[in-house]
Amino acid sequence: MDIQSVGVIGAGQMGNGIAHVMALAGYDVVLNDVNQQSLDAAISQIQQNLARQVSKEKITQADLDGAIKRIRPSLSLPDVGGTDLVIEAATERETVKQAIFEDLLPHLKPTTILTSNTSSISITRLASRTDRPERFMGFHFMNPVPVMQLVELIRGIATDEETFQACKTVVDRLGKTAASAEDFPAFIVNRILMPMINEAVYTLYEGVGNVESIDLSMKLGANHPMGPLELADFIGLDTCLAIMNVLHDGLADTKYRPCPLLTKYVEAGWLGRKTQRGFYDYRGDTPVPTR
């Protein structure tokens, strides 16, 4: 099918990034959230990020103006129902996602494709709670969305080929690269990335190295652009823990057991950059290791 309009549910870090790239690629976007403040902040963030692209001469001022005009913020979930493709980018909690799809179903066009930006939750299970499992799939962007080139496309057990091809066409139009993944816990990127981060936390927990030495070792010893603990702070420690729990529960293998220290940080509310403290303290001019 020919997708012209996109509904994005959730105006947080991922949602506003998805709205940004969709509008820039020429799609009409309805950006939905339950909170007006979140919508206002998202539009402001999108404008700043587009302006940065203009200053770097990656896009023109006309591109910026056109993209902003194509984004319609809305507090009404039914407004999303009229779009050709819906991308849910709400909190990484299955009950929240299921409730959103349940509320959205009565307002959808028969042809609308439903997708979730989930980083770990079963696409097959989410799809089974809707009226269109064959037109449902995972559409997983990497963070930050305007910068990262990869999109994981995850087929549920019922996803049909037409739906996959329609979503792949969207990814191609965005100028990004699609990786096809099967519907197993955490898919490809997080199945590999999160255990590495978890192992870095165990290395800290067991006193093998401190925060600085662990991150330095992976940056200079493995040529990673960011150390694993610094990356965990960027992603959000609550998100890292949630994905490790999905892996541990879904695959029943002790190698995916979340490190107790990761759990402790989340219990303390030290979730990384978004709360100003995680494995680093961000409240000063320069990040300072907390261990």
Indicate which residue of 119, 120, 122, 198 is catalytic. Answer: 119
Indicate which residue of 16, 38, 117, 152 is catalytic. Answer: 152
How high is the pLDDT of residue 1?
76
128 is catalytic: no
Residue 56 has pLDDT above 80, yes or no: yes
Distance CA 283, CA 291 (A): 15
How high is the pLDDT of residue 120?
86
Longest dimension (CA), the chain: 56
Q: What average pLDDT does the segment 216-227 reach?
A: 98
Q: What is the per-residue pLDDT across 59-87, written as a single tens digit (0 to 9) for each?
A: 999 999 999 999 999 999 999 999 999 99
32 is catalytic: no
Q: What average pLDDT does the segment 154-171 reach?
A: 98
11 marked among binding-site residues: yes
152 is catalytic: yes
Q: Using only C-alpha atoms, what is the Rg of the chain? A: 19
Distance CA 33, CA 55 (A): 29
Q: What is the per-residue pLDDT across 192-216, written as a single tens digit (0 to 9) for each?
A: 999 999 999 999 999 999 999 999 9
Q: Please say whether the beta carbons of 54 and 60 come within 8 A.
A: yes
10 marked among binding-site residues: yes
Q: Which residues are CB-neighbours of 90 under 8 A, at least 6 positions away?
A: 9, 10, 12, 15, 96, 97, 100
Q: Token pair for residue 104?
A: 């959205």
13 marked among binding-site residues: yes
Q: Which amino acid is at 32?
A: N
Residue 266 has pLDDT above 80, yes or no: yes
Q: Mean pLDDT over all residues of the chain?
A: 96
In the chain, the domains with their CATH numbers are 5-182 (3.40.50.720), 191-289 (1.10.1040.10)
37 marked among binding-site residues: no
213 is catalytic: no
Q: How confident is the model at residue 155 (pLDDT cuts 50, 70, 90)?
A: very high
pTM to 2 decimal places: 0.91
Distance CA 67, CA 24 (A): 5
How high is the pLDDT of residue 92?
84
264 marked among binding-site residues: no
How high is the pLDDT of residue 268?
98
* Phi and psi at residue 29, to the nearest 5°: -120, 130
Indicate which residue of 49, 140, 198, 230 is catalytic. Answer: 140
